[in-house]
Structure 1
Amino acid sequence: MARIELESLQKEFGETVAVNDISLSVPDGEFLVLVGPSGCGKSTLLRTISGLESQTSGDISIGDNRVTNVEPKDRGVAMVFQDYALYPHMTARRNMTFGLDSHVSMSDDEIEQAVQDVGETLGIGDLLDRTPDALSGGEKQRVAMGRALLREPDVFLLDEPLSNLDAKLRDQMRAELTQLHERIGTTTIYVTHDQTEAMTLGDRVAVMNDGEIEQVESPQVLYDEPASRFVAEFIGSPQMNFLPVDVEGRSRPTVTTLQRHLTSPFPTPNETSLPATDNAVLGVRPEDLYLAQETEDDSFAGPVEMTVTLHETLGDSVVLHGTVANERIRIRTSQRPNVTAGDTIRVVVDPTRLHLFDSDGDTLAHAAEKMVQTV
């Protein structure tokens, strides 16, 4: 069982704390994604698990083995780097097999067959005799993946492996990584700053900030029930709108925002009490705001008038930037309205999709908890 257990893991560089007291359990066979902004500590955490960085304190276990002070080559991990780390003078075949003797007990014929099998699996079977300068970025990435696969590791560690690829190839490789993991089932930790990769690849996603994990959940729960304003802002595109708000009442609270232009009930589950405050922040995603003509649902709050400042066309939808009562908001709609900067539109909000945060950024409540339905 190649589960990973981190217990109070700390990594410091002088006075800088890169990984701050992280405890985390990754079950056998899970694909966990570490996501967060640059400098949040996600790559350092990955390198510490691999043994390429030594922890300042804490423990690391892989399977039944405590590997805290074990050499990287003996941890049962294979790492794929952002820059592929291929030897330029070696063929793809030699890059994949270099140093393999110390990892597996196979004859030369068995190694050759394994290389061919892995090459066919990754779609590079006919490219094995080329050197890296004759390979595209995606082909180099496949060679790096093949090198890792040949070592038959207990754990895969991938550090932003798709970041050097163009958008089309990233989409293709993302789908191939998903299929590959479904086929081999090896426990995997994948680092990225790209939330699309995180949401589409991960069984669970761990959102990191300043060396700490803010929340670990399935992608849908992260989107629907963010544990903090940071998570709410980082997950989702365009970013969630945040508006200063007054909370009036407790068991059946009402939120008032936009200089009293918009008042809405906050339907908390099980009539959860909320503290009455004039120092809270309301969060609403752009896709949970609607053009008034877009819906006839009379439970929606509003309408309010929004002055458009920017119109962004995304093809399948449109993002409208604007202001309501001097507050800047964004709305994403599939209506593709024919509006330009300076126009006024009428906007309503779905009150069941609101989020409430305190002034410190901690979540107070979601209007509808447990939004993910079990089938």
Structure 2
Amino acid sequence: MIDIPITPDLVRGALELERTDHGLLPHRLPARARAQFPDAYLASVEAQPSGVRLAFRTRATVIELDVLPTKVIHPGFPEPEDGVYDLLVDGHLTGRSTATVTGTGTGRPVRERTARFTGAPTPERTTRFTGLPDREKDVEIWLPLREITELVALRADAPLTATSGGGRRVWLHHGSSISHGSAADGPSTTWPALAATRAGVELINLGLGGNALLDPFTARAMRETPADLVSVKIGINLVNHDLMRLRAFGPAVHGFLDTIREGHPGTPLLVVSPILCPFLEDTPGPIAPHFDGGRLTFRSVAVPQDGEDGRLTLTVIRDELTRLIAHRDDPNLHYLDGRALYGEADYAELPLPDELHPDPAGHRRIGERFAALAFGGHGPFTGTGDRKGAVDRDRALGR
């Protein structure tokens, strides 16, 4: 086996790589953004590498990756299963594995301890893929979507070369836990990953579980990130946290979009409203977990009448987004009602297991529909493109 240095050009889908005592830790928000929020939960979520993958070309038939994972454990909730690694060969899912302990390990220190979660110490682990085709091929290893993962060492039985994405357009997406991939069965089968594969684009997934909250630091991170296509899925977390009232919502959306436009003035920009969530359609948050016979579900602690004082519901958010986007003077700004991705008929056929998040079949349906509505036909992301978005960004920043 050949020891392969893990260099930044091997890693795609991260906004920043932190050099640690053990290796490289991918981040989905840059250091400037991380310095501007006090929430330890967001600190754990942005470091969960949803959409982050190693990408290279090789004829190797055996590949090993050493990692140092940190599980995020919520008090009162079951401990999450071991993170899943997906192996794609020439764009096709070929293998799926977890990382196993291969030695005594040293155990990593606990990252945070708060009322909301604990970072569980774990020893160094190895994920191993064998039986790959003995020919030159493009290989991607997608990292676990809900497990903080430090990259320690990489080995293969043949040399490898980093790949750059082959000139494909870059799609930058921001959303909530559904975009992050909650309840998906693997990192390459979240709905954004599936849509990106179908459309043949490079994904940067800024889906942040519990934290799609119109934060200015997220908008600034998106402004600074080169992209040819940009989308933001807005609404569900604002209701879940009962974070703001209607008076604040509209200006916050305008500010978020204005900031993105500073770096992407002519880039196709798609705003997506929430998918159907029956218990929040006409009832505001906040929400709380509920266990019924061992089954975890979520429910609102409010009642519909509470929405009369300007508190947000999903219906209010969709109406306001429709009005707001129609009045912005922006020919490259588009709107998609999230119920076109998952609506009442879908809920009847594929109900939300916890009343909030779609299951793996739901992710597949949403990914297929997004690919068709955004990238197909006359969708806002249609066309092969000429990397205009990245050019626009550099021009706007004076480069």
Greater gyration radius: 1
Q: Which has the higher contact order (CA 8 A, sep 6+)?
A: 2
If the length of structure 1 is used for normalisation, what is the TM-score? Answer: 0.24
Structure holding more strand per residue: 1
TM norm structure 2: 0.23
